[in-house]
Amino acid sequence: MSTATLTVDLGALTANWSALAAMGRAEAAAVVKADAYGLGAARVGRALAKAGARTFFVAVTEEGAALRQALGPGPVIYILSGHMAGDADMLGDMDLTPILNSLDQLIRHLEALPGHPFGLQLDTGMHRLGMEPSEWTAVRDIALAQSPQLIISHLACADDLGAAMNTDQLATFRQMTAGLDCPLSLANTGGILLDRAYHFDVTRPGIGMYGGMPFEKARPVVSLDIPVIQCRDVAPGDAVGYGRAWTARRPSRIATLSAGYADGILRCLGDRAAVWADDVRCPVVGRISMDLIGIDVTDTSRDPKSVALLGPLQGIDTLADAAGTIGYEILTSMSARYTRRYLG
Ligand SMILES: *Cc1c(COP(=O)(O)O)cnc(C)c1O
C-alpha cells in the first residue's frame, strides 16, 4: 500500500466537543460543514451524535442530505447557506432546516415550503451572510410570525481576544434580538473561548473539536503517516528534485515519500516543513512534486518505512504556520486519496 494514512481519533474529537460544551450552559451544536473539515462528516457526525450532540450545521443543502442519511431521523441539521433556488425538495424530503439570510430567501422559503422549520441569520458587522439591521427592521414582523427555530450571527474576529469588533458585534446582536422569544446563537469556537456572554442558547464549535487553534487545550485529532517509496545516498553538490532547488552540503540520505501537492500538501511548504521519523525531525528537501516529496533522513538510525507529517510532534497549526495559512485550510485540503482510519 502506498497511499498515506489519515488517522482520525474520534475519541479525542468527541472529548474536545464535550470540553467546549462544558464551558457554559448553552447547548453545544457541532459544525460539520465541508465533510467535517475534511475528516468525514458521516463518521464524525455519528460519533458526535453518540456523544450527545443533537444539532448540526453544514454549509450547503447537499451536505445536509448526506448527513441526514448518516444520522437518520432526529438530530436538527441547519443549512448555513440558507434556502437556495432548487433546494425545496431536498430540504423537505431530508428534513433539513435552512438558516435564511435575506428577504429573498425568506420569501422563497415561505412560498415553497410553508410551515417547514427555518432559522435566520443576522449580519452584525461581518458583512458576509445575513440580514442587515435595516433589512431586519423591515422583515422582522413577518419572519417572527412564522416562529423561527433559531436566530444566529457570526463573529468576524473571535480568535482575537482583544478585538473591539467582538464587543461591537455582541452589542449589535443584543440590540437586533432584544425582547425576542427565540433561541439565539453567536459563538463559534473562538466565541466560546472569549466569554460566556457570547454563548446565548446554542454554541457552534467547529475547529476546536477538530483539534485546532484557538482551542489551545484541544486534544490532537488527526495524524498523517506517509510511506517511504525509496531511499538513496547523495554526495555534497548533488541536487534533489525539480529545479535543483536543494543541494546537499554533506553526504546525505534522501527518502522519497508517496504524497505530494495533489494530496493537499501545499507546494510552498517545500523549503519550510519537516516530517518526523519516530522522534527524528527530517526536513523536506527540494520542491514538493505532485505525488512525491523528498526528505533528509541522514540523522535517522535506519531508513524509515513511513514518516508522520501530522502527529503528536507536529500538529495542524505548526504545519499551517509553516505554510502561511490556518489549521482550517490544512484540514480541508486533505486528500480524498488518503486511506482513512478511525479510532474510538
Ligand atoms: C464555520 C462556522 C462555524 C464554526 O467555526 P469554528 O471557528 O470552526 O469553530 C460556526 N458558525 C458559522 C456560521 C460558521 O460558518
pLDDT in tens, 19-37: 999 999 999 999 999 999 9
Instruction: Name the catalytic one among 33, 78, 210, 328.
Output: 33
In a domain, 292, yes or no: yes
Residue 250 has pLDDT above 80, yes or no: yes
Handedness of CA 254, 256, 260, 265 (dihedral sign): negative
Phi, psi at residue 102, to the nearest 5°? Answer: -155, 170
CATH at 236: 2.40.37.10
CATH at 124: 3.20.20.10
Could you confirm whether 305 is annotated as catalytic?
A: no
- The full length of the chain comes to 344
20, 31, 192, 203: residue to mutate for ligand 1 pocket, most atoms within 8 A of CB: 31
Instruction: Output the average pLDDT for the chain.
Output: 97
In a domain, 214, yes or no: no
Task: Mark whether 146 and 228 lie in a shared domain.
Answer: no
Please give the average per-residue pLDDT across 251-272, as a whole number.
94
In a domain, 213, yes or no: no
Task: Mark whether 64 and 192 lie in a shared domain.
Answer: yes
Task: Mark whether 183 and 280 lie in a shared domain.
Answer: no
Question: Is the minimum distance from the CB of 78 to ligand 1 under 6 angstroms?
Answer: no
Question: Is the minimum distance from the CB of 55 to ligand 1 under 6 angstroms?
Answer: no
Task: Mark whether 229 and 196 lie in a shared domain.
Answer: no
In a domain, 84, yes or no: yes
Q: Which of 102, 121, 255, 254 is nearest to 182 (CA)?
A: 121
Task: Mark whether 305 and 187 lie in a shared domain.
Answer: no
Place of cell 464524525: 44
Query: If you measure from the C-alpha of residue 206 to the centroid of ligand 1, how many angstroms do you get, rounded to a whole number?
Result: 6
Nearest ligand 1 atom, CA 208: 9
Question: Is the minimum distance from the CB of 207 to ligand 1 under 6 angstroms?
Answer: yes
Q: What is the pLDDT of residues 122-131, one digit of tens each?
A: 999 999 999 9
Q: How confident is the model at residue 41 (pLDDT cuts 50, 70, 90)?
A: very high
Determine the pLDDT at residue 102.
97
In a domain, 271, yes or no: yes
Task: Mark whether 80 and 162 lie in a shared domain.
Answer: yes
Please give the average per-residue pLDDT across 191-211, as a whole number.
98
Could you confirm whether 33 is annotated as catalytic?
A: yes
In a domain, 68, yes or no: yes
Full residue range of the structural domain in which residue 61 is found = 10-203
Nearest CA to ligand 1 atom 13: 154
SS3 of 167-225: the string is: HHHHHHHHHHHCCCCCCEECCCHHHHHHCHHHCCCEECCCCCCCCCCCCCCCCCCEEEE
Residue 38 has pLDDT above 90, yes or no: yes
In a domain, 149, yes or no: yes
Task: Mark whether 44 and 164 lie in a shared domain.
Answer: yes
Separation CA 228–CA 223 (nearest Å): 16
**Domain count within the chain:** 2
Task: Mark whether 179 and 256 lie in a shared domain.
Answer: no
Task: Mark whether 176 and 81 lie in a shared domain.
Answer: yes
Query: If you measure from the C-alpha of residue 99 to the centroid of ligand 1, how many angstroms do you get, rounded to a whole number?
Result: 14
Q: What is the pLDDT of residues 64-86, one digit of tens each?
A: 999 999 999 999 999 999 999 99
Nearest ligand 1 atom, CA 59: 15
In a domain, 321, yes or no: yes
SS3 302: coil
**Residues in Cβ contact with 53 at an 8 Å cutoff, skipping those fewer than 6 apart:** 17, 28, 29, 30, 75
Question: Is the minimum distance from the CB of 206 to ligand 1 under 6 angstroms?
Answer: yes
* pTM tops 0.95, yes or no: yes
Determine the pLDDT at residue 270.
84
Task: Mark whether 252 and 280 lie in a shared domain.
Answer: yes
Task: Mark whether 238 and 90 lie in a shared domain.
Answer: no
Nearest CA to ligand 1 atom 4: 206
Task: Mark whether 163 and 37 lie in a shared domain.
Answer: yes
Nearest CA to ligand 1 atom 3: 188
Please give the average per-residue pLDDT across 206-230, as a whole number.
98
